[in-house]
Amino acid sequence: MHDQPRIEPYEESDFFADGLGNRTPVAGTIARGMLREDVGFYTGLVDDQFLQKLPVANTRQLLERGRERYDIFCSPCHSRVGDGRGMIVRRGFKQPSSFHEQRLRDQPIGYFYDVITRGFGEMSSYAAQVSPEDRWAIAGYIRALQLSQNVAIANLEPDDRSAIEKSIAVHSSESAAAEAQSDEPASQGSPNHHD
């Protein structure tokens, strides 16, 4: 019972001429569940160029899943808004680039998938923790974060534009009032000062 008649991994065997129990897989063998015919989907690259568009439908459900995965795996370093000031950065880790820098806003979506898959700089690969589907969801969410922080007011719907313009006007008047208050001369001496 303790030593059953089977060959364990890497065990010697006198059955084969080379003395090995393991056999070399036939050329082109693909492990079950590892057939990845859609190269772009699984690498973020086609002909050594990053994909320009998501290879999956960009739906609300995809972005919500991307936000959920981003909050778990990415926000500790990149922060929830993508500015690179996550919690562990505040604890002393090296700060990553902000997703809102022009250099990263100009990157194709496949770039973010590739970085999640293979890592970059101080960031290690997340391929073992994050499935390919979730990597695309995160990449889509990063793009949504970039748009949310860099949209031109002229590109907004009229109601949204009006609300923002009102908010700017309110903040401007509050700032002006606060500035006027700070310009008033300070009272001479303390109220408890006796000559």
- What are the residue boundaries of the structural domains of the chain, listed by start? 39-153
**Whole-number Å distance between alpha carbons of 142 and 190:** 54
Backbone angles phi, psi at 45, to 5 degrees: -130, 145
| Residue 188 pLDDT class (50, 70, 90 cuts) | low
Query: Which of the pair, 119 or 184, is modelled with greater confidence?
Result: 119
78 contacts 138 by C-beta, under 8 angstroms: no
Q: Which residue has the higher pLDDT, 194 or 92?
A: 92
CATH topology for 39-153 is: Cytochrome Bc1 Complex; Chain D, domain 2 (1.10.760)
- Condensed to tens digits (0 to 9), the pLDDT of residues 30-55 reads 888 888 889 999 999 999 999 999 99
Sequence-distant (≥ 6) Cβ neighbours of residue 136 within 8 angstroms: 41, 54, 55, 56, 62, 66, 113
pTM of the model: 0.70
Separation CA 35–CA 77 (nearest Å): 33
Q: What is the mean pLDDT of residues 4-26?
A: 84
